[in-house]
């Protein structure tokens, strides 16, 4: 943060301190006659030296003299609300690590335990901003959450803990994009959040959290951080999507049409296959287990219909690139057209350290590389079909997830984390990156095939009651259960993406959400990733495509 910068003028309001690690500390008063022309606050030469009384947090000494006027002998000052008093002056920021250490001492945190209720100080003795919320009292959590000075931030963190990379967040708590002004580190009015922290952890913040940061930015003449109600609205529209408007009742006969649904044996995939089959389509299931396929076929063929289609299947291993080319060749031997490819198969919670047969991180290897190669091999048939098919009817639909709105690396995908030995050790991070990767690959494919009348897009089927949640922590399942819908609803999202006349060629590369509409406010950093540097973006999607090309070249 900016240190020693001029925040106000004319009226002295007290002292501010940096937090050195020395055995003594100094206090410096602000010049009451600081002029507007000064780039820094003028300082008086009077310096009072006191003997520090060290406190211990873990193994790190904390100088209470930096926070407690009774130790330094300085008069206690009741600080006004800086949002009300425009003459409020702060000379210099504390370091965030010192502020968090002080809060930890105030709470008397049980820092050695991994999870639980960590505050051992009497709650009645705590400043109101640090008083534990109802969620803090009942949801087990790690001690660092209790140190956050914003109650709303703590509650949102508790509700998002399953999808937040805790190590990454803790590192960001101590970095230079957070700052503390004033002498009371527990007071949220004294905290300033910088743009990098805000853009990364926006889903944990509310308007009140941003308001104080924007006050400090305004005193320096800087533009305010942009609030994110539009982004939160995007999340809410996925959690409360309303009623489906494009269902199996909207389908005309699909006789003569050929479709591939990767996965296809359970959950949303199976529900989609049932709808296509019941409307007369020829549907291929690509899956790795013959037992699962047999079970699915029995359920599909039991669907009551007067216009049944055909169900076919092929075996292949989603985690092994060597199985894809042979599978595609068998498909070509039996079909002369392909109308829609739904890239649905994937994994959600592979254990940390899991890799594919080729050594790629399991989520990225299965959800992205596997589908990239399959799509590349099937593309000639899609192009041939598009020459004689109705405009806009030939499509590639990639399955993404709403998790990318709540978690994941900046830009959607960290290219550095694709390298062996550098895979992220966080399941939520890996899964989110792979789902953002699906969106990026859909966008890059659109650049290449739109001129050939093929639509490539991605969609999030929704928060559904499927087996994908089986391995999720119970607390996460409990929190999400009010927002979960039947798998059939998610199939309506996919049906809309693949067959609805509302989807046009110009919609290529877009992100569909439940139960068939466009995302109203996608993450800006993800949108930038899908633009080239020349277009004002970062070019991450293009580089991901190039990486997929390189990694699959030997298996094409």
Residues making up the chain, counted from first to last: 556
Task: Classify residue 521 by its DSSP letter.
Answer: S
Q: Residue 387, exposed/middle/buried by CB under 10 A (0-12, 13-18, 19+)? A: exposed
The residue ranges of DSSP E strands in 352-482, in sequence order, are: 394-399, 454-459
Give the start-to-end residue ranges of the domains of the chain. Answer: 93-227, 237-552
Strand pairing category for 178-180 and 282-287:
unpaired
Give the helix/strand (H/E) hosting 238: helix 229-239
pLDDT digits (tens, 9 = 90+) for 124-178: 999 999 999 998 998 888 888 999 999 988 988 887 765 567 777 877 777 667 8
Q: What is the pLDDT of residue 541?
A: 97
State whether residue 179 is helix, strand or coil. Answer: strand
Q: Per the residue annotation, which of 102, 423, 431, 485 is the catalytic one? A: 431
Instruction: With CA atoms as reference, report the closest residue to 349 among 431, 418, 405, 269.
Output: 431
Q: Which run of H or of E encompasses 387? A: none
Distance CA 521, CA 227 (A): 13
Q: What is the rounded CA–CA span in Å between residue 529 and residue 444?
A: 11
DSSP notation for 137-160: HHS-B-GGGGG-S-HHHHHHHHHH
H/E stretch holding 538 reads: none
* Chain CA centroid to CA 281, Å: 36
Pairing of strands 340-343, 258-262: parallel
- Give the SS3 label for residue 54: strand
Per-residue pLDDT of the chain (556 residues; tens, 9 = 90+): 333 333 333 222 222 323 223 323 332 233 333 333 332 222 212 222 223 333 333 333 333 333 333 433 333 434 344 444 443 334 344 577 788 888 988 999 887 666 678 899 999 999 999 999 998 998 888 888 999 999 988 988 887 765 567 777 877 777 667 888 877 888 888 888 888 888 778 778 877 788 888 888 888 888 888 644 445 556 667 777 889 999 999 999 999 999 999 998 899 999 999 999 999 999 999 998 899 999 999 999 999 998 999 999 999 998 999 999 999 999 999 999 999 999 999 998 899 999 999 999 999 999 999 999 999 999 999 999 999 999 999 999 999 998 888 777 889 999 999 999 999 988 888 999 999 999 999 999 999 999 999 999 999 998 877 776 666 666 656 666 777 889 999 999 999 999 999 999 999 999 999 999 999 888 888 999 999 999 999 999 999 999 999 999 999 9
User: Tokens at residue 90, please?
Assistant: 């702060």
Is 435 a residue of the active site? Answer: yes
Identify the active-site residue in 376, 435, 488, 517: 435
Q: Which helix (H) or strand (E) holds 15?
A: strand 15-16
Residues 6+ apart with CB under 8 A from 130: 103, 106, 107, 146, 149, 186
- What's the token pair of residue 123? 């709650």
A 10 A CB-CB count for 308 gives: 16
The stretches of 365-471 forming alpha helices (DSSP H) are 371-386, 427-449
Integer Cα distance of 547 and 372 in angstroms:
11
Two structure tokens written together for 553: 């070249």
**CA separation, residue 177 to residues 66, 105, 191, 200, 244 (Å):** 22, 23, 11, 11, 43
* CB-based contact 15:183 (threshold 8 Å): yes
| Known catalytic residue at 431 | yes
Name the residue with tokens 């743009």: 195
Residue 5: half-sphere exposure toward Cβ, Cα within 13 Å:
13
CATH homologous superfamily of 237-552 equals: NAD(P)-binding Rossmann-like Domain (3.40.50.720)
User: What pLDDT score was predicted for residue 114?
Assistant: 61
Give the per-residue SS3 of 94-135: ECHHHHHHHHHHHHCECCCCCCECCECCCHHHCCHHHCCCHH
How far is the CA of 296 from the CAs of 103, 136, 397, 470, in angstroms? 56, 44, 22, 19
pLDDT at 428: 84
């Amino acid at each position: 943060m900016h240190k020693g910068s001029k925040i106000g003028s004319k009226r002295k309001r007290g002292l501010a301190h940096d937090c050195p690690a020395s055995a003594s500390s100094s206090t410096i008063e602000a010049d009451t006659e600081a002029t507007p022309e000064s780039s820094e606050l003028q300082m008086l030469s009077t310096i009072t030296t006191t003997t520090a009384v060290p406190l211990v947090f873990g193994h790190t000494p904390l100088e209470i003299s930096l926070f407690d006027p009774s130790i330094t002998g300085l008069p206690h000052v009741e600080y006004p609300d800086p949002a009300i008093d425009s003459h409020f002056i702060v000379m210099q920021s504390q370091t965030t690590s010192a502020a968090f250490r002080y809060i930890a001492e105030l709470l008397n945190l049980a820092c050695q335990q991994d999870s639980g209720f960590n505050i051992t100080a009497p709650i009645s003795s705590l400043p109101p901003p640090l008083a534990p919320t109802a969620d803090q009292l009942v949801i087990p959590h790690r001690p660092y959450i209790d140190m956050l000075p914003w109650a709303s931030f703590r509650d949102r963190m508790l509700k998002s803990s399953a999808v937040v990379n805790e190590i990454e967040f803790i590192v960001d708590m101590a970095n230079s994009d957070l700052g503390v002004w004033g002498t009371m580190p527990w007071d949220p009015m004294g905290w300033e959040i910088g743009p990098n922290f805000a853009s990364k952890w926006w889903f944990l913040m509310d308007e009140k959290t941003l308001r104080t940061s924007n006050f400090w930015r305004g005193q320096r003449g800087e533009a305010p951080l942009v609030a994110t109600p539009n982004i939160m609205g995007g999340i809410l529209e996925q959690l409360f999507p309303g009623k489906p408007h494009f269902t199996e009742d909207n389908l005309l006969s699909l006789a003569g049409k050929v479709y591939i649904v990767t996965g296809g044996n359970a959950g949303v995939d199976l529900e989609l296959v049932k709808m296509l089959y019941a409307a007369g389509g020829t549907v291929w299931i690509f899956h790795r287990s013959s037992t699962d396929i047999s079970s699915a076929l029995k359920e599909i063929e039991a669907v009551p219909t007067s216009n049944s289609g055909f169900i076919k299947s092929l075996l292949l291993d989603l985690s092994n690139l060597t199985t894809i080319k042979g599978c595609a060749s068998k498909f070509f031997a039996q079909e002369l057209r392909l109308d829609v490819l739904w890239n649905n198969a994937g994994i959600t919670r592979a254990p940390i350290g899991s890799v594919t047969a080729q050594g790629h991180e399991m989520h990225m290897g299965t959800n992205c590389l596997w589908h990239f190669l399959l799509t590349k091999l099937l593309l000639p048939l899609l192009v041939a079909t598009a020459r004689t098919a109705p405009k806009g009817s030939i499509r590639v639909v990639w399955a993404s997830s709403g998790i990318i709105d709540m978690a994941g690396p900046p830009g959607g995908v960290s290219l550095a984390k694709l390298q062996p030995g550098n895979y992220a050790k966080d399941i939520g991070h890996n899964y989110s990156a792979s789902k953002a990767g699906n969106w990026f690959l859909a966008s890059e494919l659109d650049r290449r095939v739109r001129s050939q009348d093929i639509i490539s897009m991605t969609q999030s089927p929704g928060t559904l009651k499927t087996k994908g949640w089986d391995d999720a922590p119970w607390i996460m399942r409990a929190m999400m259960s009010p927002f979960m819908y039947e798998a059939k609803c998610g199939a309506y999202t996919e049906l809309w993406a693949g067959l609805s006349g509302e989807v046009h060629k110009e919609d290529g590369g877009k992100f569909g959400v439940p139960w068939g509409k466009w995302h109203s406010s996608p993450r800006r950093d993800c949108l930038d990733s899908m633009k080239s540097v020349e277009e004002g973006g970062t070019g991450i999607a293009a580089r991901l495509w190039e990486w997929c090309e390189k990694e699959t070249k030997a298996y094409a």
